[in-house]
Amino acid sequence: MVPPTECLADIGTDHALLPIHLVEHGVVSRVIAVEKAVGPAAAARQAVTAAGLEDRIEVRRGEGLEPLAAGEAGAIVLAGMGGQTIAGILAAGTAVARAAGLIVVQPMNRIGFLRRWLVQNGWVIRAEALAAEKRRLYQAVAAAPGSGREQLNWLEEELGPCLLAARPPFFEELVEKVLRRYEQEFNGLAEARGGGAAHRRAELAQRLEELRGLLKR
């Protein structure tokens, strides 16, 4: 999902696997790989040196987007973090993020929260992708600054507007995953008392019906 670009920033690069792959395959010319802790930054530098790419991949230490100047990167990747963490990084580095023109995010949790945050804060979802590895599903979202929709419905938040439209491979597995999570919450409220619990159970019942309808189609 990373477009050909002169310079990419990879935030939370870990062992710099993504920068190394993208440079070796000619997708990007140069990468700024960011890590906030001493150990991971050292591991990233070691991996870059082992690949012989010190002149193409620069490892910087710092929090979120702070090590970057606005306009320095033509695209930014934030992958392998929680959705709320990614939103916090983007909020703290708004000028840098928007100057890049494109972000690719791959949250490990709370993706509905992140999608909602993006559209409410001036980002347009351009593309989405599903990947599966060892029975685990990963969702990636590419977004660009712009004026678009200011809110998504709950299905679009959970499953992604682009994924809902395209129904790519593994989409059924994604629906089943969300369905199981809602079923667990619904069953967990079985003994709960109070108007709030009753309201949430009614909301969940409606969502479960919609998800089952999606699977039937």
Task: Determine the pLDDT at residue 116.
Answer: 97
Q: pLDDT value at position 89?
A: 98
Instruction: Spell out the residues 6+ positions from residue 39 whose beta carbon is closer than 8 angstroms to its own.
Output: none
CA gap 19, 12 in Å, rounded? 11
Whole-angstrom distance, CA of residue 129 vs CA of residue 214? 18
Distance CA 7, CA 59 (A): 13
Question: What SS3 class is residue 211?
Answer: helix
Class of domain 5-150: alpha beta
28-35/5-11 β-pairing:
parallel
DSSP sequence for 83-107: HHHHHHHHHHTHHHHHHHS-EEEEE
Average pLDDT value over all residues in the chain:
95
> What's the token pair of residue 207?
């969502």
Stronger pLDDT, 150 or 46, i.e. the higher one: 46
Percent of the chain with pLDDT over 70: 100
HSE-CB of 105 using CA atoms within 13 angstroms:
31
Q: Give the pLDDT confidence of 72-114 residue by residue, as tens digits.
A: 999 999 999 999 999 999 999 999 999 999 999 999 999 999 9
pLDDT grade for 211, boundaries at 50, 70 and 90:
very high
Name 165's Cβ contacts closer than 8 Å, sequence gap at least 6. none
- Locus of tokens 């695209």: 75
Q: With residue 11 as reference, give the H or E element that holds it.
A: strand 5-11
3 state SS of 210: helix
Q: DSSP E strands: which ranges in 115-198?
A: 123-133, 136-145
Quick one: CA dihedral 129, 141, 132, 58, positive or negative?
A: positive
Q: Where are the chain's structural domains?
A: 5-150, 170-217
Write down the pLDDT at residue 65: 98
- Which segments of the chain are extended strands (E)? 5-11, 28-35, 57-61, 75-81, 103-107, 123-133, 136-145
Is pLDDT of 157 > 90?
yes
Check the CA dihedral 171-174-180-182 and report its sign. negative
Q: What is the mean pLDDT of residues 179-197?
A: 88
